[in-house]
Amino acid sequence: MSIDRALRFARLLLLGVGLAAPALPASAGEMVWIDCYPEQDDVDGDGYAEEGAPRTQKQVPEQDKLSCPDGWVPKAGDCDDGLDFVHPHAPEIGFNLRDEDCDGRMDEPQVVQLPNGNQNTKTGFSIRVRAGHWALTAQGSALAYQIEYADLTASALPSFTPHRLVGALPSDAVFEAPLAGLAPARVYRARVHFYKASSTTVLVLGRPTRRTTYTSLGISTDWYFSATDGDGDLAEARSDLLLDGFYELSESDRGRVGYRGTAQRDGTRYGAAPKERWCSEFYVWLARSRFWQIAYASDVAGIASWFSVYREWYPHLPFTEELTEVAERADYVAVDEDGDGDADHSAMFLAYDLTTGRVWTLEGNKGNYVRVIQRQPDQEIRGLGHLTELALLLSL
């Protein structure tokens, strides 16, 4: 361990003494209204009522708002209520001519998210793509793709890679789409568009010349979120939090977070109590492996308290200056969801988007899922927690 690291660690130990960040209980007793659907409209028992099932509002205690009363289910939109592996958050299975995730597309191409990113460096990363049915669509001509991507600080100004040929696909039709030339320490979103490539020979100045044309297949993957690395331990820790978070996002998209069977219901896998709102636990769960003692905080007040001890907590509006000069990827933001002026929801800061004026966040317990959200800074953000070197858990 270097002297610098040793000094930092000693400082950390001193600060750790006597620290007991409070884990305040969620507000109890209050009744809230939630949307529910008749259980009889969920014949296959996958938790989703069939499309068109009547929505009814039910009043439940605040702490139970993630689930409906007996006889009711909290979700609908099941496009096949006879098959329990078909519903809006089911994983799409390629090559079976069926729309498992009820998005109206059959065997659509998908991004395969890996737990620790995919070849992420300071200037790029790779996207693993399952071409699905579209690998066959291009039969007779070559399948090509193009990546649309944007740094989240300027999402309204996307870039496009040149067209590239996919080449021979293995039987599972999975290929790697590399993205390079990116800025370090940033969060990106990217999606892959598909084309049919055909070569023709044309005369250029009297000479036969091969020319490739690309015809859009009108299909793309969903957005893939990832992050480039930065310099130093803190930047690396930020990357770790983000890549872990984006993996959970993809798990959630496939219905594997929020409810993972009786052993890991709702947010219990992130350390929340059963039925508890788990947005704070989600942030803490992501941060705990790299940051000191944050596991003691389980709600907005607890997390704010932890940031106050380890620096730096910004409780006041307006945030324009903090968002542009202080906030960095993987920092914490306290959100006012119900618009009463008080923070009641926890989120991870991804970027302040200068092209839209919005803040990109990664959030747990958004409709009982992990989601990427864009928020209005002056209306919805009520606190910023900035991760510092001081809080970094060192690997000794």
From the CB of 213, what's the least distance to Ca ion, in Å?
28
CB contact set of 339 (below 8 Å; sequence gap of 6+): 379
From the CB of 367, what's the least distance to Ca ion, in Å?
17
Q: Quick one: 5 or 105, whose CB is closer to Ca ion?
A: 105
Residues composing the chain: 396
Q: Quick one: 134 or 307, whose CB is closer to Ca ion?
A: 134
d(CA 267, CA 274): 7
Q: Which spans of this chain sit near Ca ion (rule: CB under 5 A)? A: 42, 44, 46, 48, 78, 81, 86-87, 92-93, 96, 98-101, 103, 105, 107-108
Question: Helices then strands (H, E): number in the chain?
Answer: 7, 22
Q: Quick one: 36 or 150, whose CB is closer to Ca ion?
A: 36
From the CB of 46, what's the least distance to Ca ion, in Å?
4
| 8 Å CB contact between 278 and 286 | no
Q: Quick one: 39 or 236, whose CB is closer to Ca ion?
A: 39
Q: Quick one: 101 or 336, whose CB is closer to Ca ion?
A: 101
Q: Quick one: 98 or 164, whose CB is closer to Ca ion?
A: 98
CB atoms under 10 Å from CB of 139, counted, come to 9
Q: Quick one: 103 or 172, whose CB is closer to Ca ion?
A: 103
Longest Cα–Cα distance in the chain: 84
381 closest CA partner among 350, 339, 353, 351 = 339
From the CB of 214, what's the least distance to Ca ion, in Å?
24
**Angle subtended at Cα 331 by Cα 330 and Cα 333, rounded to the nearest 5 degrees:** 120
From the CB of 130, what's the least distance to Ca ion, in Å?
11
End-to-end CA distance of the chain: 7
By beta carbon distance, the residue nearest Ca ion is 78
Structure tokens at 192: 């892959």
d(CA 387, CA 239): 12
Dihedral sign (CA 312, 315, 316, 322) = positive
334 closest CA partner among 368, 309, 359 = 359
